[in-house]
A and B are shown apart, each in its own frame.
Chain A
Amino acid sequence: MIRLGGKVALITGGTAGIGRAAAEAFVREGAKVVITGRDLERARNIQNLVDGGGAIYVRQDTTLEAEWQTVIDATLARFGRIDILVNNAGRIIVKPLDKLSLDDMRLMLAANLDSTFLGMRTAWPHLVRAGGGSIINTSALMGEKTASIGLAYSAAKGAQQALTKAAALEGAAVNIRVNSILPGLIWSDGWKRMAGPKPDETKANLGPTIPMHRVGEPAEIAEAMVFLASDEARFITGIDFAVDGGKSAA
């Protein structure tokens, strides 16, 4: 059974990690998908989806308003409508407070908050025209519970969650649902890069820090995104959906 048939989705930061897994799952469920990302090299990761005819790639820096218009124009030109927006692109800086600069803080707000705001703002009239839609913003467990050296990131993700709830209330009148997903520790490409010379060992060592004793996989976030994007979540808006192996319950 196809759950997103006839729908058009835009996924930012979709060339790697959680975003790529989401793009794969959305295509599997019958959606047409516009995948964006900053890095042309990484676009090769999703070439299979593009070749399959279910997706296109558009280069985008989500912090730039002008590029949002380009992406929306490309989406409408290729697929004629937009039903689902996944604001997945984000960045993280982990540093102690006395080493964090104001520039670091600004970067966190630009990459995690401005980008989400611009995406919602630019897509909004098109979602309204489609008769409603679903926006999914990738936040983080750290938007709710923080870690000692994640100050700027946590602040930005917390702000993003508040933005999401406000948009949910505003979207309710026009049938646009807006939800946050809060991934816990997910074995994304970002983590792999940070994992050092023995990534498998690092992954295994991280497992016991989580109640379920394992790190999550990007596909596990993607399935929650499919659910929120689909009509199965028809009455769900404004929620913080934790997908974290029990981390936030501890």
Chain B
Amino acid sequence: MGKLTGKVAIVTGATSGIGKGCAIEMAKAGCKVVVTGRHEERGANTVRLVKEVGGDVIFVRQDVTVEADWVKVMAATMAAYGRLDCLLNNAGEAIVKPLEQLTLDNLQFLLRVDLDGPFLGMKHAWPHLKKSGGGTIMNMSSITGQKGGAKGSAYCAAKGAQLALSRAGALEGAAHNIRVNSIHPGLIWTEGVPDVMGPNPETYLPRLKASVPMGEVGETWHVGTAVVFLASDEAAYITGAEINVDGGKSAQ
């Protein structure tokens, strides 16, 4: 009997990185998982990994910024599992550029993915969570949503806005037993890190590690276990909280 046995979750952006890690941890805890993302092939990979740990899982192709895709995801979830208990708004994008080089398009793109996406997810999940007698929503923010970061003005703004959305959602959800929490990962090792930092990790990994008080870059399961706890009934009194999973970075 897992902590999430009997529950059904949607995890967006689960085709790679933190989302993939969270989907695997949730499945290990007994949760049925609907994984979504834009890439079919990577989605199939996550499905395979979730099945390897004994999980019950489907993939639905989705762009979180498109409202019609949310309708499709909810319909697929109901068709497959008949209920919804948990939504993990994990899909997100980052742009790291000096302010002078950031365009308005850059900002609006990040707001679409990091704010519109979670907003639409909450909106479309809401009636289904109410029907389940309550549920949990977790929005994947970032430590940069709480503190600033150089060359991150657009990203910080989008993630900060998302944090405010989570808090407001928590207050509104309280009446329906829907808990809404914000998760703030620090430096976590994902496929996306080489995309930003370059293909030779050995050249920059020591510097990255040294920037984290715990002296290491986090693993996706470190976030996944926090997600499992927050999604479980053990966290029944936790809503509107900000959970940092950052090896001590934000305490600095």
Q: Mark out the residues of chain A between 195 and 250 whose CB falls within 8 Å of any chain B CB in the assembled complex.
A: 211-213, 216-217, 220-221, 223-224, 226-227, 231-239, 241-250
B243→A241 contact, CB < 8 A: yes
Q: Which of A34-42, A74-82, A168-176 contacts B (4 or more CB under 8 A)?
A: A168-176
Question: Contacts A213-B175, A233-B226, A235-B219 known; A172 to B214 CB distance under 8 Å?
Answer: yes
B213→A172 contact, CB < 8 A: yes
Question: Contacts A211-B239, A243-B238 known; A234 to B170 CB distance under 8 Å?
Answer: no
Judge if A165 is at the interface, Cβ distance under 8 Å: yes
* Assembly CA distance A237 to B244 (angstroms): 8
B251→A242 contact, CB < 8 A: no
- Which residues of chain B are near A246, meaning CB under 8 Å? 170-171, 174, 239-240
- Which residues of chain A are near B226, meaning CB under 8 Å? 227, 232-233, 236
B199-211 to A contact mask, C-beta < 8 Å, 1/0: 0000000000000
* Assembly CA distance A244 to B238 (angstroms): 6
* Assembly CA distance A5 to B59 (angstroms): 36
- Which residues of chain A are near B243, meaning CB under 8 Å? 236, 239, 241
Partner of A242, one of B166, B229, B241: B241
Interface size class of A (residues with CB under 8 A): 35 or more
Instruction: State the Cβ distance, A25 to closest chain B Cβ, in Å.
Output: 9
* Assembly CA distance A181 to B34 (angstroms): 32
- Which residues of chain B are near A172, meaning CB under 8 Å? 212-215, 247-248
20 A-B contacts, Cβ less than 8 Å apart? A169-B251, A172-B212, A172-B215, A172-B247, A172-B248, A211-B170, A220-B238, A223-B235, A232-B226, A232-B229, A235-B222, A235-B247, A237-B213, A237-B247, A237-B248, A238-B250, A238-B251, A241-B241, A243-B241, A250-B171
Name A's B-contacting residues (CB within 8 A): 165, 168-169, 172-173, 175, 184, 211-213, 216-217, 220-221, 223-224, 226-227, 231-239, 241-250
